[in-house]
Structure 1
């Protein structure tokens, strides 16, 4: 009796935001998961890892020759996965270039969308974010994409008017558009992920400034939902390999809310050292003159109050939904692995995050410009 071997179908994922924190973390988890795992974040998920061989990535970039794009290919090469990644160029503000990507690569199975954060206090740029999200969703329907995964943000309150940051409001508008589009086009299945505050944002010089800002600006009882970018990548990879239970649903991706005091104590336990912080006067100046920084703190307070009062009734359900995909590291687990040199792919995310923070520079922060 002869046996036959069935070659699994290759599925193509277009990653919009492929060179950013979330895009890189997802690509690692899908194509070379062993490099993306840490001792505290086992590779065990709801999907079989052997399926990782059957995926192909179209990594969208404005410039394929730019260092971040080439770094993505180099990392894939180190894990014998370079042949599974194709760089494709497009500008999201020029619809014809994105349409060309879809026309040139038929049968895209899924699109993972992470739109660039425009920076604090930039409403005109954030309006482009909404237009970009709508464009991508429309093209996904037109070209028969099976699954659209959109990375949004944890809501501040039950409706967009409860937000202050324009980008967060636009993300909610894109969520509504995708949900409505899915009702009109049942062939499109969508999943919206809502990441918490990334642990990596507390690393490096800008992390020290941010930690000081939140430490001094937030009430002692105020909590921030937090997550590792590597875990975010594992969640999205898991969703695409076992999508049916999560179709047309929202997932808040966080290991759990923490007060800044809890974060500082976890850092000391993990490293034996206090968390680096900026001088107190820097945080004071920042909160006095930078409206964008003030808005971040206000939004954190509003979000905490709404969670505590039950005005975000699906929050816990959405958190548990994300945790059902894969295990999520606590801040202490993540920091302990990083401090011991066992951070895996998360270490690259940390190094990149220290060079900037929410598209800011130190001069912009301390002169009140966002």
Structure 2
């Protein structure tokens, strides 16, 4: 009796060592590391393919890259992850990756966030995103998945953060490129604010800024990074219902008060925060922090006024891929020690091997933050 070997599909992951990239790789190659008994069940699909990850990194010897390989090794998946060196600021190096691996099935793109309030002197993020999309078309990639952000408003120029604006421009470019190349398939995911961003020292600062800076009824769309990974893995396993569509990946908009109450229910303790006067000072002197809160208000107003008419549809579309944890579900798993993936890193208070107190939240620097510079 003959048997057939499942087809191997290669996925190029740009941003492989970041929060989203790691969560996706875990969900695709060793999903048990990105799930917990307490979390909702992910939709499962027949295992008809063998997956291989090409993880793009600027330096294959850097600790985050080595940590990715070690994690794969611990799940007996080391042969399924290959580190490839390339710099998005040097397009020829990424082109060389495509040339060396001519049968890439899918590309998942997460571009590095320049930092909260960081001055943007060029269109670098737009240039990188459009360059990657062009290469994907040129080399016959079957499925292109781009991680953007939930829009502040209906227009590309809505919002304040330059990175957010450039992501919208990349979205439009992908749509236009798809129209010119009908056989090219794309999906854009729009992640919400990650629960993990409310952990550690910077999370305490963010909690205070949102708690005191937002109106009581203002809602923020949030999600667990591990759930984002499950969504993208699900899209690759069953892409057809989502081709050429947008997905807002969030368990649903919630007020900061609802998050604070959920934290108490999950842990029995108040959510860590810095003294109120610290948040007040930051919102007075730090433009990046002020703009973050202002954008949350604008987004909330546009959602409830109907100026983002496809938001709910895009949320439900993401939830049809897999169930998404509420903050309370995620936090309960974290407290019980069941959380996997980035949830486990948050529980231990570290990220990429660094303590949260010395790490960053949206590339923040504590000293610069307190000095009025992000």
Q: Same fold (TM over 0.5)?
A: yes
Question: Residue 74 of structure 1: which of 55, 61, 70 is its match?
Answer: 70
CA shift at 1:14, angstroms? 0.2
Query: 1:124-162 CA deviation, whole Å, 9 max, x = no partner?
Result: 266201100000000000000000000000000001221
Whether the aligned pair in 2 keeps the contact of 1:47 and 1:241 (CA below 8 Å) is yes
Deviations, residues 283-311 of structure 1 (Å, cap 9, x unaligned): 11110011011110010000000000000
Contact 1:229–1:349 (8 Å) recurs in 2? no
Q: Equivalents in 1 of 2:201, 2:149: separation in Å?
A: 24
Distance 1:43 1:108 in 2: 29
Which residue in the other structure is 1:17 paired with?
15
Q: Which moved more, 1:304-313 or 1:359-368?
A: 359-368
Give the Cα–Cα distance (whole angstroms) in 2 for the partners of residues 115 and 307 of structure 1: 26
Shift in Å, 1:319: 0.1
**Mapped partners of 1:349, 1:6: distance in 2:** 39
Q: Is 1:6 matched up with 2:10?
A: no
Moved more, 70-79 or 39-48: 39-48
1:241-262: CA deviations, max 9, x gaps? 0000000000000000010000
| Secondary structure of the corresponding residue to residue 247 of structure 2 | strand
C-alpha separation in 2, matches of 1:92 and 1:123: 19
Match of 2:361 in 1: 357
In structure 2, the residue matched to 1:224 is: 220
Q: Do 1:114 and 1:151's aligned partners in 2 also have CA atoms closer than 8 Å?
A: yes
**Aligned mate of 2:280, from 264, 274, 284:** 284
Paired residue for 1:45, among 39, 43, 52? 43
Query: What residue in structure 2 maps to residue 133 of structure 1?
Result: 129
**Whole-Å Cα distance in 1 between the matches of residues 203 and 363 of structure 2?**
13
Asked whether 1:241 is paired with 2:237, we answer yes
Moved more, 287-296 or 339-348: 339-348
Q: CA RMSD in A?
A: 1.2
Structure 2: any 5+ residue segments left out of the alignment? Answer: none
Indicate the structure with greater helix content: 1
**Residue pairs, 1:84-123, within 5 angstroms:** 84-123=80-119
The residue aligned with 1:170 is: 166
1:199 aligns with 2:195: yes
Q: Is the 8 A contact 1:126 1:167 kept in 2?
A: no
2:141 is the counterpart of 1:145:
yes
Q: Separation in 2 of the partners of 1:126 and 1:63?
A: 24
Structure 1 residues 5 and 126: alpha-carbon distance in aligned structure 2, compared to 1, 3 A threshold: farther
Between the two proteins, the alignment pairs up a number of residues equal to: 366
Preserved CA contact (<8 Å) 1:33 1:43: no
Q: Secondary structure at the match of 1:10?
A: strand
CA distance in 2, matches of 1:356, 1:130: 23
Deviation at 1:180, TM superposition (A): 0.3
Structure-1 residue corresponding to 2:152: 156
Is structure 2 residue 374 aligned with structure 1 residue 366? no
Separation of aligned partners in 1, 2:41 and 2:52: 20
Partners in 1 of 2:344 and 2:140 — Cα distance? 34
Distance change (3 Å), C-alpha of 1:363 and 1:308: same
Q: CA deviation at 1:43?
A: 4.5
Which whole-Å deviations, capped at 9, do the CAs of 1:143-186 have from their partners, x for residues lacking one?
00000000000000001221100000000000000000001011
2-structure distance, mates of 1:269, 1:202: 16
TM-score, normalised relative to structure 1: 0.97
Task: Tell me the TM-score normalized by structure 2.
Answer: 0.96
Measure the CA separation in 2 of the matches of 1:45 and 1:197. Answer: 23
Q: Distance in 2 between matches of 1:40 and 1:180?
A: 42
1:56 aligned partner: 52
Counterpart of 1:220 in 2: which secondary structure?
coil
How many angstroms apart in 1 are the aligned matches of 2:231 and 2:205?
A: 29
Write the deviation string for residues 62-112 of structure 1: whole angstroms up to 9, x where unpaired: 000000000000001100001100000011011111101101111100000
Tell whether the 8 Å contact from 2:337 to 2:344 is kept in structure 1 after alignment: no
Mapped partners of 2:27, 2:44: distance in 1: 13
Residues of 1 paired with 2:293 and 2:3: CA distance? Answer: 57
